[in-house]
């Protein structure tokens, strides 16, 4: 598996390519900036390795403790953290839930201290308008986050596959464990069960 420094280099080297392709496809500088910024953030701070004590986790500084429940809930390199789309989606939802809880606590404190009623209905309408009006921008940001995360996961899988090929050749790409389990189970089923010998000895009086 590549080191954290190697992952950072891959992100920085791929950034011009991601930005160039984004601008070529969209012809929009704002969307390109969101994709490139999301790719940078996803590769350096919001990638799959937040499920362990990694360089991405350390970059959150004093806020890195917010990822401790995430780490304890997931196994490292599981599909929920390193899987395509679902890994980024789960991290986005996790972070948005934490931000919503923090915003709720702050608004309640302000409401109590200022003796003013907070208009939750107006807040909900503003959020809905933002989601509808800036759907393209949100999609571009998510795409950048996903590309940054996938560059990390693909380099992990590619590095592991390369090491297996060096040791075992092409056979290193075949999941031997599954085959061995199937073969062993077939052998155990095909083996005849030993017959019990009859006990002809007469009991002593």
Q: Is the pLDDT of residue 177 over 60?
A: no
Residue with tokens 């598996």: 1
56-113: pLDDT as tens digits: 999 999 999 999 999 999 988 888 988 899 999 999 999 999 999 998 888 888 878 8
What's the rounded mean pLDDT across residues 126-137? Answer: 88
What pLDDT, on the 0 to 100 scale, is given for residue 148?
92
First to last CA, the chain: 73
Q: What angle is formed at CA 2 by the lines to CA 32 and CA 22, rounded to 5 degrees?
A: 10
Helix (H, G, I), strand (E, B) or coil at 122: helix
| Mean pLDDT, all residues of the chain | 81
Q: Answer yes or no: are the C-beta atoms of 56 and 46 closer than 8 Å.
A: yes
Q: What confidence category does residue 183 fall into, taking pLDDT thresholds of 50, 70 and 90?
A: very low
Q: Is the pLDDT of residue 120 over 60?
A: yes
- Distance from C-alpha of 200 to C-alpha of 196, rounded to nearest angstrom: 12
Domain ranges of the chain: 4-186
- Distance from C-alpha of 59 to C-alpha of 65, rounded to nearest angstrom: 11
Helix axes 4-26, 29-44, angle to 10 degrees: 170
DSSP class of 47: S
Q: Is the pLDDT of residue 143 over 80?
A: yes
% of the chain beyond a pLDDT of 90: 46
User: Hey, how many other C-beta atoms are within 10 angstroms of the C-beta on 91?
Assistant: 22
């Amino acid at each position: 598996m590549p080191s954290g420094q190697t992952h950072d280099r891959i992100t920085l080297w791929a950034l011009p390519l991601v930005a160039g392709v984004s601008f070529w496809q969209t012809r929009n500088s704002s969307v390109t900036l969101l994709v490139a910024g999301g790719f940078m953030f996803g590769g350096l701070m919001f990638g799959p390795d937040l499920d362990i004590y990694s360089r991405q986790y350390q970059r959150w500084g004093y806020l890195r403790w917010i990822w401790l429940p995430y780490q304890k809930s997931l196994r490292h390199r599981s599909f929920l953290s390193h899987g395509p789309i679902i890994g980024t989606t789960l991290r986005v939802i996790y972070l948005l839930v934490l931000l919503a809880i923090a915003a709720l606590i702050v608004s309640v404190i302000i409401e109590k201290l200022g003796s003013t009623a907070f208009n939750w209905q107006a807040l909900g309408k503003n959020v809905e308008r933002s989601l509808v009006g800036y759907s393209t921008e949100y999609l571009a940001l998510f795409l950048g986050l996903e590309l940054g995360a996938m560059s990390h996961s693909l380099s992990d899988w590619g590095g592991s596959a390369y090491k297996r090929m060096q040791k075992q050749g092409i056979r290193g790409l075949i999941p031997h464990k599954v085959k061995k389990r199937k073969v062993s189970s077939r052998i155990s089923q095909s083996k005849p069960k030993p017959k019990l010998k009859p006990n002809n000895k007469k009991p002593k009086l």
